[in-house]
Amino acid sequence: MICGFLVLDKPAGPTSHTCVARVRRAYGLKRVGHGGTLDPAVTGVLPVALGPATRLLPYLPGEKAYRAWIQLGVRTTTDDLDGTVLDHQPPPANLTAQTLNMALAPFRGSIQQRPPSFSAVHVQGQRAYALARAGHQLHLPPRPVTLHRLEILAWDRDEGRLELDIHCSSGTYIRSLARDLGESLGCGGALASLRRTEALGFHLHQSVALDALVPPLPPLLDPLDVLHHLPRHQLTSREEVGWRHGREMAAHQPWPPDATVLVVAPDGKLAGLAKPRGQGELRPHMVFNTDG
C-alpha cells in the first residue's frame, strides 16, 4: 500500500491541480491530494499526500513561509503584476530600508487583512475571482491573520522593488500585504513574484522538481515522521486486534481531552489516529487497514 507525502518544488506556470495529476499518473494512484493551493505564477513548496495519507492533511500545521518581491509605485486589479494596471505613482523619493521597516511594523503580528478581489474566497456560494472576472465590484470583509515574521531582505530604490521574508498563518494573502503596504506609503504596491519556502511543516530542502517524477520515482516521506508533532500510542499485539475492529482501548497515559493521538502498530507502521475519551481511554478516530 502506497501511503506517504511528497513535497514538490512547483514551477511557475502549472496549476496545483496539474501538479497533482502528474503525481497521480507517476505513482499509478487515484487517491492523491495537495495541501495549500499555489497560484500558477507562484513557485515553491507544494505538499502532496498519496494514498491514505490524504486523510492526514488536516492534522498538519497550517503555517507557511514565503520569499516575496513587492513592486511599489503601481496598483493593479489583482494586486499582483499579472493584473491590469490601474495607475502608476513613484514611491517616495526618500524611502529607505529603515523607513520601509517602520512602514511594515503595523503588519506584524495579529492583524485584520482584506483578501484580494481575485481570490478563492467564497461570496454567496461563488468564488470571489469568478465574480470579479464577471465585472462585479467586490469589497471583501477583512479576516484575522498573523504574520509571525516579516523581514526585509533587500530594497532596490531605483527599481522600487522590495524583497521580504515572511512567516505567516494559513489564510494570509501576500498580494494583500503588497497592496496594503503600497497604500500606507501612498504610492500603491503589487506583488511582483512569490516563492513559498514552507507549508504544512514541509520545507523547500525536502522538495523535488516536477520533472523528477520519472522512474526511479522519488521516495515518499513516512507519515510517522511527518506527524512527529503529535503524541503517540504504541499498540500491543492484543490491542491491535481490537483497534482494527474500531474498539476503544485503555490509554497508557493521560492525554488532554482535545488531543489527537498518533497510533502506531506493533510493527512500527501507522495504524491511525485516536481521541481521548472519558478517564484513561482512547477511541479510534481514524483507522488504517480496518478489519470487520
Q: Is the pLDDT of residue 120 over 80?
A: no
Residue 49 lies in a domain: yes
What's the CATH code of the domain at 192?
A: 3.30.2350.10
| Average pLDDT of the residues of the chain | 91
Determine contact, residues 74/190, Cβ cutoff 8 Å: yes
Percentage of the chain with pLDDT > 90? 80
User: Would you tell me how many other CB atoms lie within 10 Å of the CB of residue 97?
Assistant: 13
User: Residues 56, 162: one domain?
Assistant: no
Q: What is the spatial distance between Cα 259 and Cα 275, in angstroms, rounded to a whole number?
A: 6
User: Would you tell me how many other CB atoms lie within 10 Å of the CB of residue 245?
Assistant: 12
Residue 143 lies in a domain: yes
User: Residues 266, 235: one domain?
Assistant: yes
Q: What is the spatial distance between Cα 61 and Cα 44, in angstroms, rounded to a whole number?
A: 17
Q: Is the pLDDT of residue 137 over 70?
A: no
Q: Is the pLDDT of residue 259 over 60?
A: yes
What's the CATH code of the domain at 238?
A: 2.30.130.10
- Residue-wise pLDDT tens digits, 49-91: 999 999 999 999 999 999 999 999 999 998 999 989 999 999 9
Question: Residue 292: what pLDDT?
Answer: 39
Q: What is the spatial distance between Cα 64 and Cα 69, in angstroms, rounded to a whole number?
A: 16
Q: Which residues are CB-contacts of 215 (< 8 A; sequence separation ≥ 6)?
A: none
The amino acid present at 271, given as its one-letter code, is: A
Q: What is the spatial distance between Cα 275 and Cα 230, in angstroms, rounded to a whole number?
A: 12
User: Residues 155, 90: one domain?
Assistant: yes
User: Residues 36, 119: one domain?
Assistant: no
User: Residues 153, 256: one domain?
Assistant: no
Q: What is the 3-state secondary structure (H, E, C) of 91-118?
A: CCCCCCHHHHHHHHHHHCEEEEECCCCC
The answer to whether 87 is a known catalytic residue is no
All three cell numbers of 105? 511594523
User: Residues 156, 257: one domain?
Assistant: no
Residue 292 lies in a domain: no
Q: Is the pLDDT of residue 134 over 60?
A: no
User: Residues 195, 237: one domain?
Assistant: no
Percentage of the chain with pLDDT > 70? 91
Q: What is the spatial distance between Cα 221 and Cα 198, in angstroms, rounded to a whole number?
A: 16
Chain centroid, CA 218 distance in Å: 21
* Least-confidence region, from 12-26, 129-143, 146-160: 129-143
User: Residues 22, 116: one domain?
Assistant: no
User: Residues 88, 168: one domain?
Assistant: yes
More confident residue, 208 or 171: 208
User: Residues 12, 93: one domain?
Assistant: no
**What band does 128 get if pLDDT is binned at 50, 70 and 90?**
low
All three cell numbers of 217? 520515482
Segment 97-107 mean pLDDT: 97
User: Residues 83, 180: one domain?
Assistant: yes
Indicate the DSSP class of residue 205.
G
Segment 189-212 mean pLDDT: 97
- Total domain count, the chain: 3
More confident residue, 83 or 156: 156
- Angle CA 103–172–179, to nearest 5: 45
Residue 77 lies in a domain: yes
**What band does 172 get if pLDDT is binned at 50, 70 and 90?**
very high
CA torsion sign, 183 to 184 to 190 to 194? negative
All three cell numbers of 73? 509605485
Q: Which residues of 207-228 are buried (b: 16+ CB within 10 A; e: fewer)?
A: beebeebeeeebebbbbeebbe
**What is the model's pTM?**
0.91
> How far, in Å, are 129, 159, 262 from residue 192 at the CA level?
19, 12, 41
* Least-confidence region, from 34-43, 125-134, 221-230: 125-134
Question: Residue 278: what pLDDT?
Answer: 77
* Least-confidence region, from 59-68, 109-118, 200-209, 257-266: 109-118
* Least-confidence region, from 72-76, 144-148, 280-284: 280-284
More confident residue, 292 or 101: 101
Give the chain's length: 292
Structural domain harbouring 40: 4-62+201-225
At CB < 8 A and 24+ separation, what contacts does 95-100 make? 95/157, 95/185, 96/155, 96/157, 97/152, 97/155, 100/152, 100/155, 100/162
Segment 227-235 mean pLDDT: 94
Segment 219-246 mean pLDDT: 94
Question: Residue 164: what pLDDT?
Answer: 98
Residue 98 lies in a domain: yes
Exactly one of 9, 39, 79, 180 is catalytic; name it.
Answer: 39
User: Residues 216, 137: one domain?
Assistant: no
